[in-house]
Amino acid sequence: MKSILFLIALLIGFSGETTSLKNKVNKIEITSLPFEITNLTKYPTPLYAVNSELASEISLHAYSDVNLKKRIKYDDTNCTVFRRFNTESKNYILLDLAIEIGENERHLLATFNSNYQIIDTLDVAVGGSFDNFTFTKQYRLDSDFKATVYWLKPLSETPVYFRPDTPSFEAQRIDSHYHIDDNGKFIQDEEILYKPQIYKPQEISVDGKNIWGGKEEKINRQSKTVF
């Protein structure tokens, strides 16, 4: 079903060379905050591909591993506007851009100025398939435009691939907190580290299970000072 949606997105995205990013974004329903991305979050319809508009601005790659070291990128990589957030009171436009290659996904939060030029981007979600599609990096966006990115970072240098036969692996949960300033820049406020533990792919890929719902032990909290 997901492949069919992306085929539709490609058709919409390339149906006319004159269709601008602004025109595509204006056709997308506005999503109110707060928002969180989970394994159950649905793709909107219709989808609008923005490959041609953004290919020179951002890297259209995804990852085949939880470590975020094995990039994959093909000519037919698809980038769509996953969400358009309500930013009426702000001086910027805020989008969730989804980059999809097969069963692998990467999401960016991206801010744009009124001319639809990119101000800043933040990698906020990465997912792939174990038994089911699973986000091992995901985010929540609060009504005050503060974003928290949650990541299960494997401790081994050996890649932990998104595959049905992937064994249990040791990883550390990391929560990274950001806010968006008045200029549309993502500013990191703090990083929270948790005690490493063993994760079973079959358990974290259960529908409805999210990283922020884990019971890991907090071990360190680092504030980021801006000078």
pLDDT for 76 equals 74
Q: Which DSSP letter does residue 168 get?
A: -
Bigger pLDDT: 80 vs 223 = 80
pLDDT for 225 equals 57
pLDDT for 2 equals 52
HSE-up of 18 (CA within 13 Å, CB side)?
Answer: 0
Q: What is the mean pLDDT of residues 166-184?
A: 97
Stated as kind and residue range, the H or E segment containing 5 is: helix 2-13
**In angstroms, how far is CA 46 from the centroid of its own chain?**
19
Alpha-carbon span 2 to 196, nearest angstrom: 33
Bigger pLDDT: 94 vs 7 = 94
pLDDT for 185 equals 98
pTM for the full model? 0.89
Bigger pLDDT: 30 vs 220 = 30
Alpha-carbon span 114 to 105, nearest angstrom: 28
Tell which residue, 154, 120, 119, has the closest CA to residue 137.
Answer: 154
Tell which residue, 76, 1, 93, has the closest CA to residue 45.
Answer: 1
Q: What is the mean pLDDT of residues 18-27?
A: 84
Query: Is residue 158 over pLDDT 90?
Result: yes
CB atoms within 10 A of CB 41: 16
Alpha-carbon span 125 to 17, nearest angstrom: 30
Tell which residue, 155, 192, 150, 152, has the closest CA to residue 170.
Answer: 155
CB atoms within 10 A of CB 112: 21
Query: Is residue 8 over pLDDT 80?
Result: no
Query: Is residue 162 over pLDDT 80?
Result: yes
For residue 39, list its beta bridge partners: none
pLDDT for 190 equals 97
Stated as kind and residue range, the H or E segment containing 177 is: strand 169-180
| 115-149 pLDDT, tens digit each | 999 999 999 999 999 989 999 999 999 999 999 99
Query: Is residue 14 over pLDDT 70?
Result: no
Query: Is residue 16 over pLDDT 70?
Result: no
pLDDT for 6 equals 47
Query: Is residue 19 over pLDDT 80?
Result: no
CA angle, corner 176, sides to 107 and 189, nearest 5? 120
pLDDT for 24 equals 94
HSE-up of 181 (CA within 13 Å, CB side)?
Answer: 9
Bigger pLDDT: 24 vs 2 = 24
